[in-house]
Structure 1
Amino acid sequence: MNSYDVITLLDEIAATSSRNAKEDLLRKHIDDPLVQRVVRLAYDPFVTFGITPPTLSTFGEAVFTMDTPEVWSLLDRLAKRTLTGNAAREEVEQMLAWLNKPAAQLLWRILRKDLRCGISEKTINLVLPNTVPTFDLMLSKAYEEKRIKAFPVPVEPKLDGFRGMSLVSAGVSKAFSRVGNHFPQLDWAGPYLVQMVENARAKVQNAESCPGMTDKVRRFIWDVLGGDAGPSAAIDGEAVSGSYATTSGDLRRKDEEATDTILNVFDIVPYAVMRDTGQIEWKVPLKIRRKVLEFVVRCAPEGAPIKVTDLREASSHEEIQAIYAEHRANGLEGAMVKPWDGHYVKKKGHLWMKIKAEETKDLRIVGWFEGKPGTRLEGKFAGYIVNHEGVTVSVGGGYSHKQLEELGAEALTIHAGEPFTEKGIVKRMFTVAHRLCEVEFHEVTPDGSLRHPRFIRFRDDKDEALRVAA
C-alpha cells in the first residue's frame, strides 16, 4: 500500500458509523506494514513530534510508502527532538509541499496524532495489541474498622482532584486516567517527571551523593527506576487545580494544558510492573514505596509542581476519625487509610480505604431537563437526568451559575429525542448514554429514586465505557 491507499482506507472507516464495521475494516488491512506504522505513530502517546503542522495549501506530486526515507527520517528526527523549532517547521512545510494532496493529508494527520476516522484507542488495541498503554490502578473501598489489623496506620487527605498515573519511559512522561485513557493536557508535567527520575537515578549511582544509604537500598531504588534498561517509573498521584470542577474542566480542554495544576503524588511502582497486565500485585510494602517516592521527589528540578501528599499516623480508630474531621474542616473531600505493610495491588480492595462525608454514587447521564415555568431557568438547562438502577432521577442541585450555562450549551449539542413534559417540567432524553457523573444524596427512596440529589462532578476518570484496555 502507499499513502493514497491508506488515506482512502481512513476515509472509508470514517464514513461508517458502526464501531464493529470500523474494526472490521481496520483488521482487514492491519497486516500491511504501512498501515501498522501509521496507526502506531498516530496512537502511541509516547511518540510525539513537538510541532503543530501548518494548514495545507499547496501540494506536489509525490506519494510515500514504507520505502520513502525522506518521510520516515523527518518523523524520526521530530520524535527524537533532534529537529526542532524553526528548522522543524521549515522541513515540515517543505515535505508537505513535496507530497501530493492525499499523501500530505496523511502526514498532516500523523503529525497531529489524529487520523480523523473515529477509531478509539480500545479498537486500536483490539486490532493491533499493545499500541496504546493499558493498565489497572490500585483502587479503594469504603472504610471499615475491622479491616485494620494493626496500628499505627498512615492517613492521607482524600484530595478533590483527578486521579491519574504518570508513566515515565525513554525520556518521555505521559499521564493516564484510572481507566487507561491518555490525558495530554497533563503532559506539560512530563519534563519535570523525566528530569526527576533521571536525577534520582544519577544520585543512587554515586554512593557519595547518598551518605548513610546502603548499597542494597541504592540498588533497590535503581531497579524501581528502570534498572539497567534505562530511566522509567510509574508514579501514582492526584492532579489538583483549585476545585475538582476546575481540574476536570482543565483536563477536558484539548487546546490548552492544565499548567496551574499541582501533581500530588502518593505512590511509585516500576514501569515494567505497571505495563505488565499479567502482574496484579507488586509485593513491596507501602512503607518502603513511600520512602522511595519521597527520595525521588526530593530529586525533582527546582520549581517542579510536584509534591508528596501529606501523611499522618493514627494509633486508633478515634485518631483516624479526628484526622478525617480535620481534613473536612479544611475543605478536603475526606481521608485515605492505608496499612504500612500493604502491597500495591492493581484492583479495588480494602488495602486502601476511603472515608467520605456523604453517600455518593457514580451514575450515567441519560438526559436533561429545563427549569420550572416562572423561574429564571425556564426554557434553559436546569440539571441532568441520571439512571439509578433503572430509575431516572432528576439532579437539579450542585451546579454553579457558570456550570449551568456551559453544561446547557453542551447538552444542546448532544442528539436528544423530542422534548416531553412530565409534572410540568420539560425533559429531553439522550438517544445514547452520556457521561458518568458523581451524585451526592441523603438516601435511596422506597421507589428506588434518590432523596436530595446533588451533582458533584463528572467522573470520566472512572468511566469504564472509556476504558482503553481490551
Structure 2
Amino acid sequence: MNSKDILLALDQVAENSSKNEKQALVTGFAANDEFKAVCKLAYDPFMIFGIQPTKAHEAIEPGELFFDENGTHEFLQDLIDRKLTGNAAKDALEKQLRTLSKESAELLIRILRKDLRAGFSESTINKAVPDLIPVFPYMRCSLPKEAKIEEWDWSKGVISQEKADGMFANGNRIKGTLFFASRQGSPFPMDEFGDLIEESKIKLRENFQYHGELVVERNGEILAREIGNGILNSVLKGGTFGEGERPIYLVWDLIPINAVKAKGQYNTPYLNRLKDIRDSLKDAKHIRMIETKAVTSLAAAYDHFFSITKQGKEGTVIKRPDMIWKDGTSKQQVKLKIEAPCELEIYDIADGKIGSKNEGLPGALRCRSACGKLKVDVAVKNEKMRKDIEKDRTGWKGKIVTVVFNQLLSPSASNDDYSLFLPRLAEDVYRTDKSDADNLERIQEQFNNIITGKAA
C-alpha cells in the first residue's frame, strides 16, 4: 500500500460506525507492513517527533510524491532520534509537505499529531497485531473496605500523601529526552514547558517513568483544579501560559521503563522509591515530591486527610512502605474516603434557589439531630422525590431520613450549630421503620468508629 491507499483505508475505517466492523477492517489492513508501520508511528507513545503541525502547514500547496518516494520515513526517524530539532525540523517538515501529494501530506500531519482520525485506538491495533503498540499501565487505588487497612502494621509507619487535583502525567525519561504523556499514553505537546523539560532532563533518572500530576502555579501559588486544568488544557491545544504562570510537576512514584507494559511489575519497596525521588529533586524548582508524611495510626491518617480536605482539596492516599508497583488495582495503596450514615429529622422544606429550575419547588430538606445541636440542609435526591414532597409537604415534616456525610463540622463564628460536610440522602424516601433521629453524641460515635475501623 502506498500512502494514498493507506489514507483511503483509514477513511474507510472512520466511516464505519460498527466497532466489530472497524476491528475487522483494521485487522485486514494490518496485514500490510506499510499500514502497520503507519499505525505504530502514530500511536507508539515512545516515538516522539517533537513538532506539531499547525493550520499554516495544512494550507501548504502539496506536491505529487508518496512517502516512499520522498524519504518521509527517514524524516520521521530523524525526528525521533533528535537529529532534526527546532527550526531545522520545521524547515524539513515544510519541505516534506510541499513535495508530498495531498493524501501523503494529510497522512503525515495525522502521524505527527498522533491521531489517525479513524475512530480506533491502540487496543484495536493490538487486537490486530498483538503488542504492536506499547500500552501505558496504571496502578489504581483500592478503597478502605477493600484493603482491610485496620490490619496494616501502623507501628512501622504508613505513608500518607495528598491526592493531587491536577492533570495526571507520566514523565518519561528516555534516550536523553523527556516527554509527558496522559494516562493512556498520548504525548503532550511540550512547546510551553521549556523550563520544566530542561530541569526534568537533569533531575529525573534516565530510562525511568515518573508518575505525577501537572498543576499550574501563578505568582508562587498553586491554582485550584478547575482553574489550573483549564489553563493546561488551553496550553495543550496551542495556547500559552499567562504572566506569572508556570507548570509544576508533582511526583509520587517512579518505575523503570522496562516495567512499563501490560501486567508490568516493579518490586522495589515504595519507601525506597520515595527516597530516590526525594534525593533526586533537591533544589528543583519545577518538579516537587507530592505532599507526603508518615503516620503511625489510622486516626493520624484521617487527621492528615481532614487537613487536606479543609483546604478544599480532594483528599489523601495511604500507602504501605513495602508496596510494590504493579499494573492494576493495588490493595497496598488506598484512597481514603469516609462515608458515615446518620438518621436526622426533617423540620422544614426549603425551596429551590430563585432563578433556578426548581424555584418554588422543594429544593432541600432542612434536617436536625434529636438534640437539635446539629442542623444541615440536604438536597432533594431526584425529581421523583421532589414531586412526592410537593404533593404533601406537611406529611414529610417530622419524618426521619438517612443522611450520608464525609465529615462532622464543628460550630464556627458564622454558625452556632454542628453541621455535615457533603451531606446527601441515602434514599429518595423517608424511613417508615424509625421515628427517632440520632443525637449528636451518637453521630460522633458512628463517625469515630469508621475512622478507627470499628464500624461494621
Instruction: Please indicate, yes or no, whether the TM-score normalized by the shorter chain is above 0.5.
Output: yes
Cα contact 1:42–1:114 (8 A) shared by 2: yes
1:44–1:189 CA distance, 2 compared to 1 (3 A): farther
Corresponding residue number in structure 2 for 1:147:
151
Corresponding residue number in structure 1 for 2:307:
326
Q: Tell me whether 1:61 sits opposite 2:64 in the alignment.
A: yes
Deviation per CA, 1:118-155: give whole Å up to 9, x if none.
22233223223341433131423227551322323232
Corresponding residue number in structure 2 for 1:238:
213
Q: Per the alignment, in what secondary structure is the counterpart of residue 170 of structure 2?
A: strand
Cα contact 2:251–2:290 (8 A) shared by 1: yes
- The more displaced of 72-81 and 264-273 is 72-81
Q: Per the alignment, in what secondary structure is the counterpart of residue 337 of structure 1?
A: strand
Per-residue deviation, 1:169: 2.1
Cα contact 1:63–1:99 (8 A) shared by 2: yes
Corresponding residue number in structure 1 for 2:424:
442
Q: Tell me whether 1:255 sits opposite 2:237 in the alignment.
A: yes
Cα contact 1:164–1:177 (8 A) shared by 2: yes
Per-residue deviation, 1:189: 5.3
Q: CA RMSD in A?
A: 3.7
Deviation per CA, 1:17-70: give whole Å up to 9, x if none.
2222222212111121211221111222332241425123423332233xx362
Q: Tell me whether 1:284 sits opposite 2:268 in the alignment.
A: yes
Q: For 2:278, which of 280, 291, 294 is the aligned residue?
A: 294
Q: Tell me whether 1:166 sits opposite 2:171 in the alignment.
A: yes
Consecutive unaligned residues in structure 1, runs of 5 or more: 201-224, 226-230, 360-371, 380-394, 398-421, 425-439, 449-470
Deviation per CA, 1:347-371: give whole Å up to 9, x if none.
3243222324568xxxxxxxxxxxx
Corresponding residue number in structure 2 for 1:99:
100
1:30–1:15 CA distance, 2 compared to 1 (3 A): same
How far apart, CA to CA, are the structure 2 residues paired with 1:44 and 1:191? 26
Per-residue deviation, 1:333: 2.6
Corresponding residue number in structure 1 for 2:411:
none
Aligned partner letter, 2:188: P
Cα contact 1:138–1:345 (8 A) shared by 2: no
Corresponding residue number in structure 2 for 1:460:
none
Cα contact 1:50–1:81 (8 A) shared by 2: no
How far apart, CA to CA, are the structure 2 residues paired with 1:103 and 1:163? 34
Corresponding residue number in structure 2 for 1:206:
none
Q: Per the alignment, in what secondary structure is the counterpart of residue 76 of structure 1?
A: helix
Q: Tell me whether 1:124 sits opposite 2:125 in the alignment.
A: yes
Deviation per CA, 1:265-301: give whole Å up to 9, x if none.
112222212x232444x2222221111111222375x
- Which structure has more relative contact order (CA 8 Å, sep 6+)? It is 1
How far apart, CA to CA, are the structure 2 residues paired with 1:86 and 1:185? 16
Per-residue deviation, 1:172: 3.6
Corresponding residue number in structure 1 for 2:256:
270
Aligned partner letter, 1:334: G
Aligned partner letter, 1:238: E
1:59–1:266 CA distance, 2 compared to 1 (3 A): closer
Q: Per the alignment, in what secondary structure is the counterpart of residue 67 of structure 2?
A: coil
Aligned partner letter, 2:152: I
What is the identity percentage for the equivalent residue pairs of Structure 1 and Structure 2? 25
How far apart, CA to CA, are the structure 1 residues paired with 2:11 and 2:327? 38
Corresponding residue number in structure 2 for 1:52:
53
How far apart, CA to CA, are the structure 2 residues paired with 1:356 and 1:105? 48
Q: Tell me whether 1:310 sits opposite 2:291 in the alignment.
A: yes
Consecutive unaligned residues in structure 2, runs of 5 or more: 217-222, 341-350, 359-377, 381-385, 389-421, 431-456
How far apart, CA to CA, are the structure 2 residues paired with 1:396 and 1:130? 50
Matched length: 346
Corresponding residue number in structure 2 for 1:109:
110
How far apart, CA to CA, are the structure 1 residues paired with 2:109 and 2:135? 24
Aligned partner letter, 1:135: P
Corresponding residue number in structure 2 for 1:156:
161
Per-residue deviation, 1:423: 6.1
Cα contact 1:142–1:353 (8 A) shared by 2: yes
Per-residue deviation, 1:108: 2.8
How far apart, CA to CA, are the structure 2 residues paired with 1:194 and 1:147? 44
Q: Per the alignment, in what secondary structure is the counterpart of residue 184 of structure 1?
A: coil
Q: Per the alignment, in what secondary structure is the counterpart of residue 73 of structure 1?
A: helix
Aligned partner letter, 1:276: K
How far apart, CA to CA, are the structure 2 residues paired with 1:132 and 1:111? 18
Aligned partner letter, 1:141: L
How far apart, CA to CA, are the structure 2 residues paired with 1:137 and 1:352? 9
How far apart, CA to CA, are the structure 2 residues paired with 1:140 and 1:163? 18
Q: TM-score, normalised by structure 1?
A: 0.63
Cα contact 1:157–1:335 (8 A) shared by 2: yes
Per-residue deviation, 1:237: 1.8
How far apart, CA to CA, are the structure 2 residues paired with 1:21 and 1:132? 23
Which structure's CA Rg is the greater one? 2
Cα contact 1:247–1:261 (8 A) shared by 2: no
Deviation per CA, 1:153-183: give whole Å up to 9, x if none.
23222333334432332334344445x3525
